[in-house]
Amino acid sequence: MASYCMTVTRLRLVLGEGARRLHVSAAFNAKAKVAMSRFEPGTSISYEKLHENIDIVRKRLNRPLTLSEKIVYGHLDDPMGQDIARGRTYLRLRPDRVAMQDATAQMAMLQFISSGLPKVAVPSTIHCDHLIEAQIGGVEDLKRAKEVNQEVYNFLATAGAKYGVGFWKPGSGIIHQIILENYAYPGVLLIGTDSHTPNGGGLGSICIGVGGADAVDVMAGIPWELKCPNVIGVKLTGSLSGWTSPKDVILKVAGILTVKGGTGAIVEYHGPGVDSISCTGMATICNMGAEIGATTSVFPYNHRMKTYLNKTGRADIAALADKHKDDLVPDKGCKYDQVIEINLSELKPHINGPFTPDLAHPVSEIGAVAEKNGWPLEVKVGLIGSCTNSSYEDMGRAASLAKQALDKGLKCKAAFTVTPGSEQIRATIERDGFSKILRDVGGVVLANACGPCIGQWDRKDVKKGEKNTIVTSYNRNFTSRNDANPATHAFVTSPEIVTALAIAGTLKFDPETDYLTAANGEKFKLEPPNGDELPARDFDPGQDTYQHPPAESSSVMVDVSPTSTRLQLLEPFDKWNGKDLEDLQVLIKVKGKCTTDHISAAGPWLKFRGHLDNISNNMLIGAINIENDAVNKIKNRLTGEYGGVPDVARHYKANGLSWVVVGDDNYGEGSSREHAALEPRHLGGRVILVKSFARIHETNLKKQGMLPLTFADPTDYDKIRPDDKISITGLATFAPGKPLKGVVKHGDGSQDIITLNHTFNENQVEWFHAGSALNRMKELQ
């Protein structure tokens, strides 16, 4: 939805004395805690409605349905009249709930405030997990984060209380783990303002990552649009054993499909091999489906999910799911658009990277590959945890390896960090002794937060520019992502392999075949890891970290200071003036991979996620300029001097010159962060012209009134010169399915006429006309 620039209006944002907060008592057991936190006003589980909609659509289509189709079509706003065609039509859906992490929730809530609506229309939650920097250890880092981010946390807490949104305080844990423990259930449709929201697919949910503007649509009670996904089937046979883990399934799939192979599709796992994977293991697989561009991923309901629901205090939901199981598994005879088959009994441990999550290698081969390519063999740091791999089972299996090393008098040769996924996981692994084992082997237990996975890591052991290797159990390993060092070679693998490599200290170690040397000189091999799927006792809920929205919030006030450097109220973007876009200056022609990390970096920039003007100072500073192979160095065509990308963009805007970015394939890959769309719009951009887009980023651009366009002929990318001006013609008759024209004007006076495609539907064309989706919403109120 739309977005906005600074206004000097001051909106008070502090809790009034009469404001009521409902807290979950720390004395309650885990089951009571999740029960209270789950049921906000308006929450309901209606399998009857889901079944009714599925029945309508199945009769209309007259064919068996995949599980993905059942859940998605089961949430149609108009199941009787909706046009349904995989990969072509736009569906209007009614999601059950919304979840937002703190870095993206700031802009989402600022936009919701701008909408003028009094309360959210569906159950929604905010999760404080992105703003906690890893530096010393969990306790110290959390304390410092609360002090540094007090203004932002206060804004989110009071905005949540004001508008009916539940608030998980800093230290609660990572959004996706909290969702799995509390909110995901078989058949739910949940959207989240984070690209790894698909984690919930491990519990039979359709959980989709979106930008904040999409979340505002749903919170406003407006049907949410999604292009009808194709469905990729992954048939699993055999069973996992030994060193092979659930992470290896998605590492293998990423190697097959690549970072864009899942674009526009839901990945649906099925087959007899599914039952050999734990519920949290299935979540790991779905989580990292974001790395192949998939809309989401999902597993069918089974006994592993039922066990997890029971253990997390949701036996009532498990009983309901049992009764409606036929709607929570694929129909016999359903058809997939593509099928991949993986025999889990033959699957070997994998490690992917560096610099991209789809560069897959068997662990047994990575040492030789690294030597051949000149990648550093020494493992400087091993990092386990994150939203992808921080379950009780993950920590238990890692601890089983650490215990073997300790028994032989060894500690990790590499630095070693551990990130629990939630306060519940932290408390439980502390109680059950895993944390002590992991600390004893040399680990540092960090806060229950994203930390190094999203660049919140105050790393001190290497200098910037120093070539080095790290291995993580995370999901994403783009250049500079974890530590802002472009020379860091980051590899993603399972927590078990990370632990083994941290103990060995080198990539040239295959734990299945290679030996370690004990303190007494004895040679020994690590036994395959083992760990319980779930704790034998109930989970320990740990500290009380949840704030329930009060029933009465009229006395709750929200405060955004006009002098704040962290938060900024928003003004509407300008409407389309009814004319073609003439003589747009090429700001930068981007070479190669350009992720949302390149467009709007995280790490130290996270602190500005609620302040559009300040965060815009990082726009495209990581993108490679094809003119000089440099980052953040482009030529200002008005002055002839070179400057940073945002600086030149600001100069163009100040002089009334609109601009266009030209990019390569899968532009906007990675995070759901809508700041990568907000910033170009704020700084005067009108068009992003590329070979192809990642799904979320393309939608985010449309929401903000930008024109995301693709070359009808990808080779036309080569016709664009860095000093060109481009006019976009045909906007007077801008319509779905109708290409636009680009007039490329070269500095030597010559021109090229190129055809430009788009994926706008009728509603989205109105967003462009209005200047943004939020502007359009306000027009319709």
d(CA 114, CA 116): 5
At residue 677, what is the residue type? A
What are 273's two structure tokens?
């091999």
Question: Quick one: CA torsion of 691, 695, 696, 697, rounded to 10 degrees?
Answer: 10
Q: Which residues of 295-312 are buried (b: 16+ CB within 10 A; e: fewer)?
A: bbbbbbbbebbbebbbbb
Distance CA 738, CA 743 (A): 17
The residues carrying an active-site annotation are 129-130, 194, 476, 671, 673
**Residues 695, 717 contacting (CB under 8 angstroms):** no
| Residue 289 near residue 247 (C-beta atoms within 8 A) | no
Pairing of β 634-635 and β 642-643: antiparallel
Site of tokens 């977005």? 3
Q: How far is CA 283 from CA 181, 279, 296, 297, 494, in A?
A: 11, 6, 11, 9, 13
- 498 Cβ contact list (under 8 Å, min separation 6): 382, 383, 384, 398, 471, 472, 473
Quote the CA–CA distance of 439 and 195 in Å, as a whole number.
31
At which residue do the structure tokens 């393309």 appear? 698
Give the single-character DSSP code of 578. Answer: S
CA atoms within 13 A on the CB side of 412: 29
Q: Which residues pair with 729 in a beta bridge?
A: 741
Distance CA 757, CA 745 (A): 19
DSSP state of 575: P
- Find how far residue 383's CA is from the centre of its chain: 19
Reading the block at residue 540, the tokens are 């320990």
Task: Cite the beta strand spans of 86-129 per DSSP E.
Answer: 90-93, 97-101, 124-127
Determine the Cα–Cα distance for residues 355 and 357; give it in Å rounded to an integer: 7
Q: Phi/psi at 387 (nearest 5 deg)?
A: -65, -20
CA nearest to 125, candidates 476, 545, 452: 545
Q: How far apart are CA 247 and CA 233, in angstroms?
A: 18
Rounded distance between C-alpha atoms, residue 511 and residue 257, angstroms: 27
**Coil, strand or helix: which one is 216?**
helix
Q: CA-CA distance, 593 to 598, in Å (whole number)?
A: 9
The residues pairing with 11 across neighbouring beta strands, listed in sequence order, are 560
**Euclidean distance between the first and the last CA atom of the chain, given in angstroms as a whole number:** 15
Both tokens assigned to 314: 């949701």
Q: Which two tokens stand for residue 27?
A: 């004395």
Core vs surface per residue 177-191: b (16+ CB within 10 A) or e:
bbbbbbbbbbbbbbb
Angstrom distance (rounded) from CA 617 to CA 155: 23
Please answer whether residues 353 and 492 qualify as being in contact, where contact means their C-beta atoms are separated by less than 8 angstroms.
Answer: yes
Cα–Cα distance, 380 to 724 (Å, whole number)? 45
